[in-house]
Structure 1
Amino acid sequence: MRSVYLLLIAFFLLSIGWYCRVDQPQSEQTFQNLEEGVGYVGMQTCRSCHDNIHQTFIHTGMGQSFGKATLQKTAAHFGPDALVYDEALDFYYYPFFRDSNMYVLEFRLEGSDTVHQRIEQIDYIIGSGHHTNSHLINQNGYFYQAPITYYTQEERWDLAPGFDQGANLRFSRYLSSECITCHNYFPEPVIGSINKYASMPTGIECERCHGPGEIHVREKLAGNMVDTSQFADYTIVNPKRLPRDLQMDLCQRCHLQGLAILEPGKTFYDFRPGMALTEVMNVYLARYSDSHERFIMASQADRIRLSQCFKESEMTCITCHNPHQSVREFDQTAQFNKACQSCHDTNCSAAFAERQAENNNCIHCHMPPSASIDIPHINITDHYISRDNIRGQKKEGAQNQGPPKFLGLQALTKKNPTPLDMATAYLALYEKYVPAEIMLDSARYYINRADREQQATFPALVQYYYLREAYDSITLLKLPSTPLDAWTDYRIGEAFYQQGDAPQALKFFNQACDLQALNLEFLEKRGLAEALVNKPEEAKETFQLVLSENPNRPIAHCNLGYLLVVSGDLEGAARHYQKAIALDPDYEQALLNMAALRLQQNRKPEALKLLDRVLKKNPANQQASAARELILR
């Protein structure tokens, strides 16, 4: 009898276990569309069966994330007030529509005279308009960010994020695969370039979160249906079927902003829903003494992980969020509150009047709107859920604590990063965001603890010396036996170039260009080295190749102009110098070269004007001062 009783108990417990797992994520079987080579089918194919979902999804932030620059897409206001001034560089920007096309005018004034103007057509708008509209320029397939952004919450134009305080890159900030693969569905990259795309979609699509749909579509067309209310359909990823860690990895592929460091051999196109993020990349974030209070915009996954709610439950992003519905078009207050009340009772400690003022909305108090430290003029929901994070509450000591102290880089996705991992992350932090000495010191600390014999350490060491401008240290390094990556070749080439060894520089620039044949920066440096080793025709061909790819490259125009002067084509040279100056009115070398040409043509007044422009912008330019003095003798 006792054995029968124990058997019944065991069966009962087994039944409870089975019952509790019915609606839990299932990971025993692998989703078939994780296999390499499974093709993408596009949102219109998905729509043929899931039109009701499509109709709501296209109105979400993701569905509206990217589009052609039209009056229908833009959230901005236009007119006389849509004027932005960059005080540091002395440029004005004015966006406008003409004949249904969007443009931005860059100009400079001296008194009432316009002394410079450049117009660029805006081809795409990036951003749903919930917080911002930023703008992209397509130059023969090469994509660049325009220097102004519309901030919808404050209804104002201003410089684009990161373009202020003298850091205005004007029309030269290229759109990398890291950026576009989060802000949009996958474009088709042109092999050998860093920002040229053969095609550009217009918004995030279904397969970004569900993975490629080829197998799923094939099976459904063959009549192989699955009752997804009872079972998982393993032909395509349904995020709710993923284990918690993989659910979070799917969302934090784009909602865990920081330093994204790719694993060797991986690209930003390689992550698929259902994979561990660490298979493709790891994310690092700089921590400061005030990081608990101040944070960057796309930090939702980092902030939620700080919350006790996250630590003490199995919640994920989709506990609260329905990715198919817009938070702006559907009032999701009840849904959000229900998620809170699934763990917390409805007896709130706040006074009745306070709760009534917030319509009993848990989110308004415990996840208050906050500014972002990397994007101006916006407020975002702070995903750090906390009793202490009440809206309007003053943090103890926050007012007089002085500048925040840098505490170090934290690996957010990898529990035990190697010394080489940390070195690579510190080098990226220095190069991209925080060019402070402590970052290079930290990188060197970790390089010294990495395996110096390991060939993977070599690129980090080269990058470290390159950022230190210790070019002689690079040229003395022993090369590894395996081929180098393009950027390491380029940095070694630059080291030899700076040391005056043009033949060796050309060797490494050629190797870099072999790996990235359409990296225009690499090509421009190769052209310089070709000119220095007395290969003027090869140099001309290189600069002409650059300009055939993108005619708006001031460096290529300036250097081609110089080669034409040497070959005796003064008029051709003048055209290229003038184009370089029209593109960049502060390009000192182009102004100096044009002044030398005018002096050679005995047009001294024009030469003096050009030299005066250089000295007005840079009084310390000795070459301009000496040339001016020579003319006035």
Structure 2
Amino acid sequence: MAEPPTNADPAVGYVGTQTCVKCHEAEHLSYLDTKHSESMERVDPDKEVSSATYHHDASGNDYEVFRRGDDLIHREIIRGVNGAELARTEHPIVFTLGSGTHGKSYVYHDGSHFGQSPLSWYEDTGKWSMSPGYDVPFHPGFGRKLSTECFFCHVGAVDRKRGNPNEFSILEEKIGCERCHGPGEKHVARYRENPKFTGADNTIVHPSKLSRELSEAICQQCHLQAAGKALRANRDEWDYRPGLPLTDFRIDYQYRLGDDTMRVVGHVEQLHQSKCYQQSESLTCITCHNPHQTVPAAAAIDHYRKICLSCHTDDSCGKPHAVRVADAQNDCSHCHMPAQGTEVPHTAFHHHRIGIHSGATTENEPAVGLSSVLDVARLPEIVRKRCEALAKFQVAQENPGNSNFRDYGIEAAKALIEVKNTGKSDPDATTILAMLARSQGQASIAGDLAGEVLAKELIPSRPRLESLRLLAGLAYQRREFDKAAEYYREVTELQSEPFDYFQLGVAEQNSGNTDAAINALKKTVELAPHHVNAHRFLAAIYQSQGRVDEAGRHSQLAQAHAMRLEQLQQKTLK
């Protein structure tokens, strides 16, 4: 394997796109003409559909989009069984997510955390509708907070404050030069010292000069999101640098059987299944997709057909020329990469398994087992076991009740115990092992493992957060409310979730800290206005204090939200 570019060294710093533009203006302008450059944008109300209403039948909620001065506002109105308004939540929108080709989602910032609007715009239909995953009776509304992982494929760079993936600032709002070419510090220094340098330049990445594996890794960092994923020990997705194997940072897994599912980011697995890919050593993402060139719609058929004909001939197709022209304007992709619906509503993408597609809908085989999408044979066996265990844990968590994955927890626990016994465990693996121990009734072991993570993981990382939450839950079960409150206080400093605030409120009240309990419960209903038990608990506390009006208001809200939730539950059972 060739030596990696020198800017793959983690010590090399990023300089930002505007520094690159000073010498590469033409390249930057060509990039701005592509959709990658529009992956996220600061919202401009003048460019948005800024006056709309939408009723969501499944949840019964109403949504409004409107302007208030220079702000674009998204509002959610929760209505009871009789149509009366129970709660309203609204946020100014700060960013749009997505290029807008098929649609875009919207992001707000509440001062410490980013969150997603439940409403998205779908260009293919020209209408507002629920965001992906929200078109169900029970959805989080504005309660879904966005982590650095959510922004990974949309922004150029983030500042991970103290290592907390839930609290950060965005340093570069668009995907920039350095996401594909690597950090520019060494490159800039070389040409400042010697503006006329003409030799081989290994201070910056040229994707077309990399091996197929390393070139594809640049695209795969965003366009490979399979059934499950595991970060390598002590790695983060943001640690990846162009010119290095993606599997040095994370491993993505797909089901061994029956997973030809269309997904917005399923291109890699599909392409690898294609005979065109398997029988070529050079076919890769940038064969067809030039990140510095936008193909005009009028020229697209001829452009992509020319690429196909670089290997095939006009006679390769079994259909007569006249039929091909009549049926699909002689467009190869129409038959061999047909557009199909994805998991995102109202969105269809071209299938990247280049080949013969019958068009018939076939029933998939059951998803059984996981295998890595990329080749990981070079990695030590213990690394492969650890990563597969983490991926199995993720798949099981995301598919509760699915019988295909009922043994994944036990299998993951066995593998992670083996990892720990080798002395090669890490905070992520230990935390997940602790969570698995608790789920299997091993509270003492779970507590010891989580405590071990807290003692070693001093930054506010995801393992520390999950270990704190686990220890808080165990203390709560033991009715050690002072200790539970202590843990939940730190949890709520690191992440803003209604469940944690509710648990904190109950623990504070049981510890005699009534004012703190009220504040935590008020935050709960701010984040989740439909949280019945938070309203009930607030009503009980206010009643004990003689604050009859406030007690009555929350009692009524609890009853109204409970009736609404019961009605929705009945609808889902029909």
Query: Same fold per TM (> 0.5)?
Result: yes
Q: TM-score, normalised by structure 1?
A: 0.77
Contact 2:276-2:354 at 8 Å conserved across structures: yes
Q: Indicate the SS of the match to 1:323.
A: coil
Letter aligned with residue 273 of structure 2: L
Counterpart among 73, 77, 86 of residue 107 in structure 1: 77
Alignment partner, residue 212 of structure 2: 244
Q: Indicate the SS of the match to 2:169.
A: strand
Q: Indicate the SS of the match to 1:269.
A: helix
The reply on whether 1:298 has 2:275 as its aligned counterpart is no
CA distance in 2, matches of 1:47, 1:65: 19
Quote the offset at 1:137 in angstroms: 0.5
Q: Report Cα offsets for 1:88-142 as digits up to 9, x if no partner.
A: 3x32112223323211111134556444322211111010001121000111141
Quote the offset at 1:379 in angstroms: 0.8
The reply on whether 1:38 has 2:12 as its aligned counterpart is yes
CA distance in 2, matches of 1:491, 1:460: 10
Quote the offset at 1:476 in angstroms: 7.5
Q: TM-score, normalised by structure 2?
A: 0.84
Alignment partner, residue 596 of structure 1: 540
Counterpart among 422, 428, 431 of residue 397 in structure 2: 431
Give 1:86-485 correspondences, 5 Å limit: 87-88=58-59, 90-109=60-79, 111=82, 113-225=84-196, 232-258=200-226, 259-286=228-255, 289=258, 291-292=259-260, 294-314=261-281, 315-327=283-295, 331-347=299-315, 348-357=317-326, 358-372=328-342, 374-386=343-355, 388-389=356-357, 393-395=359-361, 398=362, 401=363, 405-415=366-376, 418-432=384-398, 434=400, 436=402, 438-450=404-416, 451=418, 453-454=421-422, 456=425, 458-467=430-439, 471=443, 474-475=446-447, 483=456, 485=463
Q: Report Cα offsets for 1:58-84 as digits up to 9, x if no partner.
A: 12121011111113554xx4544x414
| Percent of matched pairs sharing the same residue | 26
Contact 2:109-2:115 at 8 Å conserved across structures: yes
Larger Rg: 1
Quote the offset at 1:41 in angstroms: 1.7
Alignment partner, residue 62 of structure 1: 36
**Structure 1 residues 560 and 532, CA gap change in structure 2 (3 angstroms):** closer
Counterpart among 512, 519, 522 of residue 495 in structure 2: 519
**Structure 1 residues 503 and 120, CA gap change in structure 2 (3 angstroms):** closer
**Structure 1 residues 445 and 29, CA gap change in structure 2 (3 angstroms):** closer
CA distance in 2, matches of 1:69, 1:467: 43
Letter aligned with residue 19 of structure 2: T
CA distance in 2, matches of 1:142, 1:295: 31
Aligned residue-pair number: 541
Letter aligned with residue 21 of structure 2: R
Q: Report Cα offsets for 1:381-423 as digits up to 9, x if no partner.
A: 111101x225xx225xx2xx4x862222222135356333222
Greater Cα shift, 212-221 or 61-70:
212-221
CA distance in 1, matches of 2:156, 2:298: 24
Consecutive unaligned residues of structure 1, counting only runs of 5 or more, are 1-26, 544-558, 563-575, 622-633
Q: Indicate the SS of the match to 1:285.
A: strand
Alignment partner, residue 569 of structure 2: none
CA distance in 2, matches of 1:594, 1:447: 40
Letter aligned with residue 219 of structure 2: C
Quote the offset at 1:526 in angstroms: 9.1
The reply on whether 1:498 has 2:470 as its aligned counterpart is no
CA distance in 1, matches of 2:450, 2:422: 13
**Structure 1 residues 439 and 507, CA gap change in structure 2 (3 angstroms):** farther
CA distance in 1, matches of 2:202, 2:192: 15
CA distance in 1, matches of 2:486, 2:85: 45
Letter aligned with residue 456 of structure 2: P
**Structure 1 residues 613 and 533, CA gap change in structure 2 (3 angstroms):** closer
Greater Cα shift, 341-350 or 584-593:
584-593
Alignment partner, residue 566 of structure 1: none
Q: Indicate the SS of the match to 2:38.
A: coil
CA distance in 2, matches of 1:342, 1:329: 21
Contact 1:509-1:525 at 8 Å conserved across structures: no
CA distance in 1, matches of 2:9, 2:347: 40
CA distance in 1, matches of 2:564, 2:325: 64
CA distance in 2, matches of 1:602, 1:503: 25
Quote the offset at 1:477 in angstroms: 6.8
Q: Indicate the SS of the match to 2:387.
A: helix
Contact 2:12-2:183 at 8 Å conserved across structures: yes
Quote the offset at 1:279 in angstroms: 1.1
**Structure 1 residues 328 and 560, CA gap change in structure 2 (3 angstroms):** farther
CA distance in 2, matches of 1:353, 1:434: 52
CA distance in 2, matches of 1:478, 1:148: 37
**Structure 1 residues 67 and 243, CA gap change in structure 2 (3 angstroms):** same
Q: CA RMSD in A?
A: 3.4
CA distance in 2, matches of 1:91, 1:29: 57
CA distance in 2, matches of 1:501, 1:594: 21
**Structure 1 residues 49 and 59, CA gap change in structure 2 (3 angstroms):** same
**Structure 1 residues 109 and 500, CA gap change in structure 2 (3 angstroms):** closer
Q: Report Cα offsets for 1:156-213 as digits up to 9, x if no partner.
A: 2111111222341111212112221211111222225332223343211111000011
Hey, which of these two has a bigger chunk of helix by percent? 2
The reply on whether 1:48 has 2:35 as its aligned counterpart is no
**Structure 1 residues 467 and 161, CA gap change in structure 2 (3 angstroms):** farther
The structure showing larger relative contact order (alpha-carbon pairs under 8 Å, at least 6 residues apart) is: 2
**Structure 1 residues 313 and 335, CA gap change in structure 2 (3 angstroms):** same
Quote the offset at 1:465 in angstroms: 3.5
**Structure 1 residues 359 and 449, CA gap change in structure 2 (3 angstroms):** same
CA distance in 1, matches of 2:508, 2:447: 21
Consecutive unaligned residues of structure 2, counting only runs of 5 or more, are 458-462, 566-574
